[in-house]
Amino acid sequence: MRHPIFLFRHGETVWNAEKRAQGYLDSPLTAAGRAQARAMGETLARQLQLGGYPPSGVIVRASPLGRVRETLAIAAAAAGLAHDEQAFDHRLREMSWGDWDGLILPEIEARWPGAMALRRQDHWSYQPPGGESYAMVVERARPALDEIVALAQEQPVAVFAHGGVGRVLRGLFLGAPQVEILKMDQPQNAFYRLHGGAAARVDT
């Protein structure tokens, strides 16, 4: 892979602040989230300048969910990135919590007693009712990553996604074991530069 991949998570949302599961559902960015998105774009612009890359030469790939669209619009304006609807890839959307989407932990515990304890016992393979496991997310994220890596042979790529699927993408890129993927951070005030078989955190 000749050029870097820059991997972003969306900025803080209202439901992030309330500690609600979002999955396929959405909530808008908070004021802090909008500031995070702007800082991501400004920091990316500096990274591109250091690497000698014009912003117009960066390929964008993103989740189609609203919180990522909002983050991308702000970050792209700050970095000078161009993108269109072809940039959005449903395989990059967040892992679904199914029936748990929109709920906070005490609500999940009350409606599905013991379910979270079962998930903690098998975090990788546990599937919430109507939702996805990490193992299932790998199946859709792997081909998306393969395409992104192929694009990075020609040009740098900026990928805007989510916390859970972002962990999976980084882990697959690094060839990390499941237990390490589950421990990976999910920052909203930093992004990752993937290149040369390594993932370097870039703080904003």
Both tokens of 105, joined, read 């932990």
Sheet strand arrangement including 5-9: 59-62, 157-161, 5-9, 190-195, 198-203
- Selecting among 10, 12, 162, 195, the annotated active-site residue is 10
Examine the residue annotation and report whether 18 is marked as an active-site residue of this protein. no
Chain centroid, CA 173 distance in Å? 14
Q: 93-116 b/e with 16+ CB inside 10 Å = b? A: bbbbbebbbbbeeeebeeebeeee
Examine the residue annotation and report whether 94 is marked as an active-site residue of this protein. yes
- Selecting among 94, 132, 162, 195, the annotated active-site residue is 94
Amino acid at residue number 11: G
Active-site positions read 10, 94
